[in-house]
Amino acid sequence: MQYPEPIAQLIESYMKLPGIGQKTATRLAFYTIDMDQVDVTNFAKSLVASKRDLHFCSVCGNITESDPCSICSDKTRDQTQILVVEQPKDVMVMEKMREYHGLYHVLHGVLSPIEGKGPEDINISSLLTRLQTNEAVKEVIVATNATPEGESTAMYLSRLIKPAGIRVTRLAHGLSVGADIEYADSMTLFKAVEGRTEI
């Protein structure tokens, strides 16, 4: 049996989300049809608005409504430190910890030879530009995840940045190998930042 076109399209849309297969997409599609009209309308509106109103900060690469983002334009933040993360959601996690007051840089990925991801495929060149144009920066804290790709990205950045006389540090291994920053609690994260080491 063929599904009516709107349902078929809805299933197809859900299947574009990560980790959602045909079965789950079908269940979600039928669930959506059962939802209140108001809820469905709000859902659809927030989907459209999130794409329309959010951009990547031209300075740090974080998700923002204004450019530069509120963190980059906040002059009360410590301008001597830049903490480098893989994804915008890592910034949210670090900010929730409330103990880090420096700046950020979002790579939007890590170096991964297996996936064919080289330095030009992630947000590295804008970090170098930032370091060249902003003499206030004294330390780059690399907070990529403790995965093999995260580690090799950290080493790559260290080799690139250190010759400029800028300190490059890495979060302490309070975070277990392979653990995502995303899942670390505030205390673990705080200790990882406090105990960071030179690389």
> Where on the chain is the footprint of Zn ion (CB under 5 A)?
57, 59-60, 62, 68-69, 72
Q: Which is nearer to Zn ion, 11 or 69 (CB)?
A: 69
| Separation of alpha carbons 185 and 172, rounded Å | 14
* Distance of closest approach, residue 82 Cβ to Zn ion, in angstroms: 11
* Distance of closest approach, residue 132 Cβ to Zn ion, in angstroms: 17
List all residues 6 or more positions away from 63 whose beta carbon is below 8 Å from its beta carbon: 54, 55, 56, 57, 69, 88
| Separation of alpha carbons 96 and 137, rounded Å | 23
* Distance of closest approach, residue 73 Cβ to Zn ion, in angstroms: 8
Q: Which is nearer to Zn ion, 57 or 154 (CB)?
A: 57
Q: Which is nearer to Zn ion, 105 or 188 (CB)?
A: 105
* Distance of closest approach, residue 42 Cβ to Zn ion, in angstroms: 28
Q: How many residues does the chain have?
A: 199
Residue 60, judged by CB atoms within 10 A of its CB (0-12, 13-18, 19+), counts as buried
Q: Which is nearer to Zn ion, 72 or 146 (CB)?
A: 72
- CB contact at 8 A, 61 and 106: yes
Helix (H, G, I), strand (E, B) or coil at 122: coil
